[in-house]
Amino acid sequence: MRDLPSSLVLAYLGDAVLELYVRKRLVAGGPALVRSLHRAAAARVSAAAQAAVWSELEDELTPEETAVARRARNAQPKHAVRGSRPEHHLSTALEAVLGYLYLLGQQERLDQLLERIWELGSRSEEEKPCT
């Protein structure tokens, strides 16, 4: 594999890529209050939300993407983790793959995965019971 930043740096970048994509999709959905947009974005980019889509997305990765994800999933952050550790490890893996694709300029594949994440996240939202 090429000279790449560490898994945690890839995840840091991938987190920003996902956040921007989600915000763009939410804004394109029509007028809304910033507070509502923020809550909707936070719900979609949380470690729990990313871990929820991981199980379906994992089998769709290429061997190279799987290798990046595996290394990131095993990375040990030096900071406090919100949510559960297993969720954090899965979200780190997902974010690292997005950062990897972004750095390599693989925009078509990146767009494909981001759209799939959006789709899986939407399906997950629909399945939540109303409270």
Any idea which residues carry the catalytic annotation?
A: 15
Cα torsion 94, 117, 80, 42 to 10°: value is 160
What whole-number distance in Å separates Cα of residue 77 and Cα of residue 105?
A: 26
CA angle 123, 115, 121 (to 5 degrees): 25
Q: Are 95 and 50 in contact (CB under 8 A)?
A: yes
The H or E element spanning position 40 is: helix 34-45
C-alpha 77: how far from chain center: 17
